[in-house]
Amino acid sequence: MPQTAGGGYARQPDGSVIVALSVPSPQREGSRIRVLVHAANRPQALTRLRNLGLRAVYLRGNSEPPTPDEVTAVLHHPDGVLWRGPTPVAPSGRRVSTSWQPMAALLRPA
């Protein structure tokens, strides 16, 4: 069954787009990850994700567009496809920042 992902996109001055999606984590049930893709257009961004194995992901609307920090992260990555897991909470109650990972780290067998 297709999975609708929360996400959105931001058009860049050169005409390309950054697509950000929140999808279920393949590693931990019940958690979600944030995936960023830089591509020439939205359909091509989704095709890149499907080719990497995230086949049942569809972007509906623009409810969660990428933040400026997310845009910077994906533009400075050579592959143009990144992910970050859920932000863990430290015992002190503060959220711990996690870094962006290349897609190969997510798709690597456990």
Give percent of the chain with pLDDT exceeding 90.
30
Say how far apart CA 70 and CA 38 lie, in whole Å.
11
The domain tally of the chain equals 1
Q: Is the model's pLDDT at 50 over the cut of 90?
A: no
CA distances from 103 to 1, 27, 49, 107 (A): 23, 13, 9, 6
> Given the DSSP bridges, would you call strands 57-59 and 81-84 parallel, antiparallel or unpaired?
unpaired
- Residue 49 is predicted with a pLDDT of 86
- The residue whose two tokens read 């095709």 is 47
Beta strand pairing call for 17-24 and 32-39: antiparallel
Residue 77 structural domain: 3-107
- The pLDDT, as a whole number, for residue 40 is 95
Sole residue written with tokens 């590693």: 27
Decide if 108 contacts 100 (C-beta within 8 A): no
Rounded to two decimals, what is the model's pTM?
0.78
